Chain A
Amino acid sequence: MNEIRIRFSRGEEVKYISHLDLMRTFERALRRAELPVSYSQGFNPHPHLVFGLPLSVGIASDAEYADIAFEKDVEPEAVKKMLNISLPKGLKVIDACKKNQKENIMAIIAAASYNIDIFFSESGICREYDNIEAYIDSKLNEFLELNEINAEKNVKGVIKNIDIKPLIIRFDLKKVEQNSKKSYENIYDAASFSVLARAGSKANLKPDVLADAFCKFAGINPAYYSIYRTGLFVECEGKLIDPIHACI
Chain B
Amino acid sequence: MPVELGDEILQKVEKPSRYTGNEWNMVVKDAENINIRFAFCFPDVYEVGMSHLGMRILYHLLNERPDTYCERVFAPWPDMESMMRKEGIPLFSLETKDPVKFFDFIGFTLQYEMSYTNIINMLDLAEVPIFSKDRTKGHPFVCAGGPCAYNGEPLADFIDFFMLGEGEEIINEVMDIYAQWKNAGLSRFDFLKMISSIEGVYVPSFYDVKYNDDGTVSSISPIYDFASPKIKKRIIKNLNEVYFPDKIIVPYNDIVHDRIMLEIFRGCTRGCRFCQAGMIYRPVREKSWEKLTDIASRLQKSTGYEEISLASLSTSDYTQLKELTNNLIDAMSPKRVNLSLPSLRIDSFSLDLMEKAQKVRKSGLTFAPEAGTQRLRNVINKGVTEEDLLSSVSLAFNGGWNGVKLYFMIGLPTETYEDIEGIAELGQKVVDAYMSVPKEKRAKGLNITISTSSFVPKPFTPFQWEAQNAIDLLKDKQLFLKSKIRSKYITYNWHDSRLSFLEAVLSRGDRRLGRLLYRAWENGCKFDSWGDYFRFDLWMQAFEDCNIDPAFYANRKRSFDEILPWSHIDVGISQKFLINENKKAYRGELTQNCRVKCEACGAAVFGGGICYE
Contact = CB atoms under 8 A, between A and B. Distances in A.
Interface in B21-37: 22-24
A89 B24 CA distance: 8
Contacts of B17: 16-18, 21
A160 interface: no
A13 B97 CA distance: 13
Interface in B4-18: 4, 6-12, 16-17
Given A16-B17, A119-B8, A185-B87, A31 B306 contact: yes
A183 B304 contact: no
Interface string B323-357: 00000000000011000000000000000000000
Q: Which of A16, A17, A89 has the most CB of B within 10 A?
A: A16
Given A21-B254, A58-B10, A183-B6, A43 B22 contact: no
Interface in A60-87: 86
A135 interface: no
A153 B306 CA distance: 37
Contacts of B89: 184
B4 A183 contact: yes
Contacts of B8: 119, 181, 183, 186, 188, 223-224
B16 A58 contact: yes
Given A21-B253, A86-B304, A58 B7 contact: yes
Contact of B336 (A39, A119, A186): A39
Contacts of A20: 254
B7 A32 contact: no
B304 A89 contact: no
B361 interface: yes
A24 to B, nearest CB: 8
Contacts of B11: 58, 224-225
A88 B23 contact: yes
Contact of A25 (B16, B252, B360): B252
A17 B46 CA distance: 14
A79 B183 CA distance: 50
B366 interface: no
Nearest to A182: B4
A27 B22 contact: no
A89 B306 CA distance: 21
B305 interface: yes
A14 interface: yes
A30 interface: yes
Contact of B306 (A18, A28, A119): A28
B16 A16 contact: yes
A45 B359 CA distance: 10
A14 B300 CA distance: 23
Q: Which secondary structure characterizes the binding site on chain A?
A: mixed
B302 interface: yes
B517 interface: no
A18 B14 CA distance: 11
B304 A43 contact: no
B359 A43 contact: yes
B133 interface: no
A39 B4 CA distance: 41
B303 interface: yes
Please classify how large the interface on chain A is, using the bins under 10, 10 to 19, 20 to 34, 35 or more. Answer: 35 or more
B20 interface: yes
A57 B360 CA distance: 31
A201 interface: no
* B contacts with A: majority SS: loop
B144 to A, nearest CB: 30
A184 B303 CA distance: 37
Nearest to A31: B304
Contacts of A86: 304
Nearest to A21: B252
B225 to A, nearest CB: 50
B10 A16 contact: yes
Contacts of B300: 31
A215 interface: no
Interface residues of B, number: 33
B215 interface: no
Nearest to B19: A16
Contact of A43 (B9, B306, B361): B361
Interface string A49-63: 000000001100000
B301 interface: yes
B88 interface: yes
Contacts of A13: 20, 22
A57 B10 CA distance: 10
Contacts of B7: 58, 224-226
B304 A29 contact: yes
Interface in A8-24: 13-14, 16-18, 20-22, 24
B250 interface: yes
A166 interface: no
A219 interface: no
Nearest to A39: B336
A27 B300 CA distance: 13
Contacts of B254: 20-21, 24
B51 to A, nearest CB: 15
Given A31-B304, A119-B8, A223-B8, A16 B20 contact: yes
A20 B8 CA distance: 23
B22 A89 contact: yes
A90 B336 contact: no
A141 to B, nearest CB: 28
Contacts of A183: 4, 6, 8-9, 87
Interface string B249-264: 0101110000000000
A43 B360 contact: yes
Interface string A80-121: 000000101110000000000000000000000000000100
Contacts of A186: 8
B24 A30 contact: no
Given A13-B22, A226-B7, A32 B303 contact: yes
Contacts of A185: 87-88
A28 B16 contact: no
A184 B88 contact: yes
Contacts of B335: 31
B252 A14 contact: yes
A14 B22 contact: yes
A28 B9 contact: no
Contacts of B12: 224
19 contacts: A13-B20, A16-B20, A17-B17, A17-B252, A20-B254, A24-B252, A27-B304, A28-B24, A29-B304, A31-B304, A31-B305, A31-B306, A31-B335, A32-B302, A32-B303, A32-B304, A44-B360, A184-B89, A224-B8
Given A31-B335, A183-B4, 18 more contacts: A14-B22, A14-B252, A22-B252, A27-B304, A28-B250, A28-B303, A31-B305, A31-B306, A32-B303, A32-B304, A43-B359, A43-B361, A44-B359, A183-B6, A183-B8, A184-B87, A184-B88, A225-B11
Interface of A: 13-14, 16-18, 20-22, 24-25, 27-32, 39, 43-45, 57-58, 86, 88-90, 119, 181, 183-186, 188, 223-226
Top-10 shortest CB links A-B? A28-B304, A31-B304, A32-B304, A16-B16, A184-B87, A17-B252, A21-B252, A88-B24, A13-B22, A16-B17
